[in-house]
Structure 1
Amino acid sequence: MLARELIISLDAMGGDNAPDIVIEGANIARERYPNLHFLIYGNKTEIAPLISKYPLLADCHELRHTEKTISAGDKPGQALRRGRDSSMGLALQSVNDGEACAAVSAGNTGALMAMAKFMLRTMPGIDRPALASLLPTSRGECVALDLGANVECTEKNLVQFAVMGAAFARTVLGLKKPTVGLLNVGVEELKGNDVVKKADRILRETSLPMEFVGFTEGDGLAGGEVDVVVTDGFTGNVALKTTEGTARMISNLLSDALRDSIWSKIGYLFVRSSLKGLKDHLDPNNHNGAVFMGLSGIVVKSHGSASGAGFASAIGVAADMSANDLFGKIAADLKSFEEEQTGVSQEKAS
């Protein structure tokens, strides 16, 4: 439960099933976080009847009308030129103006990133924002970034991602000193390209509130070997889609196997609760909510195909980050890191 009122802006028209799932998700999130209030942007004619279905939302929202939307087919440049007064653009603007703590959208990812970078700018000390999210592991959850914002990265980018990812883990997962690993083709120091090797050397010299463990492989991501997995956006997006596809495959195979015969159906009765727990753990809706880390404002991207419960999870990520001072943690860590690196450089020079 949140200790103070938090205002979250919602792009009600973004996503495959908007605005229905957005309003349903807001209602579910309000049940979990009684101190939430919403600024809802979109077509009033479509949204008002949906809100009326949920009495819980009656006194905790403000509906702001706009007929303009960003479609799935709009390119980032088009969104920047024509989307400032769209439901997505207005939700972002409310964060920039200080009206809202965070914005949540299930709309066009490229457009959302471009508009967020333009309207909110990056934090001091951050060269590029990264897309970060929680992924299921055999031990619970881990933070993974970058999941698609930057196809190519420098070692400096990866180091900044590690700092931000550790702050994410402390904020959302409640870890005092999260373990951090660089995704690589092997755990030996000689393996990998020059970028990850250089990032590894830099991170080994840090003493921030995180424990850098070196390299981790793809199976380590699923196995929960580290709390934070850092990689470039190309590799991260492939890992994300592979994780989601594997989760769906396991769920489908289990369903097929349990319907295969009368004996499997009987056996299912004895393991039903355990299997439900497994299915819930693998369900992407329960880990929904990718954050554009490094911006001067909290922006959370929901899956475009998320359910109402999934959109509520994305709102929950925005609420947790807003309530637990994510920016303060990142800013403090970046300052400490820069001071530390300055000291290292001076020692080497002398």
Structure 2
Amino acid sequence: MKRRIIQALIVSAIPLIITVTPIEAHCQFQYFSNPSSLIQKGKGSINGPGISSVGTTFNKVVLLSFDDNLKGDFIYAKPILDKYGFKATFFIICNKTGVSGTDRFLNRTNWQDIAAMQKDGMDIESHTMNHRHLNHLSANALNLEIGGSKQCLASHGYNATTFAYPYNEGSNNVTVVNLVAKYYYMARSGTEPLMFLHCDGYKKSPQTDCRTYLPDGKLTYANRYAVRSLSFDVDEIKNSFNNADIFADFVKIANSQSKYNKGDGILNAIPIITFHDVDLATNQPYTTNVGLFDQLMKYLHDNGFKVLTMANLGYDISSNTINIQGTPTFAITNTTSNTPR
């Protein structure tokens, strides 16, 4: 076993103590000693023209999640989340846990890392056993990926109640959804910057509520097993890793809820933003540069956003709507009654 050391990091005058390996300590020191030096070089200023703070007259909420349990999310993303007092959901691929290699995409969090994250309030959920394309599996293989993942996490002490579809595939497949519903309370899919809590805001798929099936037996576009989210990596690729453009888009996405949340204490829509790898690398697909990630989280913090996890989402079976379940430090008035998970 690697010898562990204690590294004390001072971030914005807040003492932060993290247990890390020597290699992890060196990487974290590189960032926290001079974070601005690690923002992608030559790609524009974060605080570009036209970007300003928004008002606080409406509810501002963002839900953050991380897929694939990559090591960088533990080494870099978690300390930044801790710095700003945020919690997030981490979706775990069970059979990839503890894998290591020379490529950063082969380095995954181990069970000790995951335990440390949960101890600090992070939400640990399921992302299958092997991250396979669910629409192309046999019944036995599908059950292993979906049900086996829940059992795997349970064997390590985690009661996963939310599932994330690999590659955002499966939420339109009745066989897949029925199996997900057998094992999980809720599931997250992708392709949308906003999740409407009544599932009624998608023009290409008109709905009046979040019921799973239409009267003809077809699956609805958005429901408790297809909670819509946005993979932010797609936006970074679209913007050719230009920091100013990425930051501007993040601000736009985070504030897109203002049209629907009018400041009366009622939430109707929330942005759910998913990251994959947060790392020192720049200009790499599915990797958010650590300095840029810090700036994105700082924006949320400085502009009064409340950050949620998937564990904060509930479902009201009487009205077929999704609601926000309060926590000891954060409660929101909602139009529907909370249903215990």
Per the TM superposition, whether the score is higher than 0.5 is: no
Greater Rg over alpha carbons, structure: 1
Give the structure with the larger helix fraction.
1
Give the TM-score normalised by the residue count of structure 1: 0.28
Give the TM-score normalised by the residue count of structure 2: 0.29
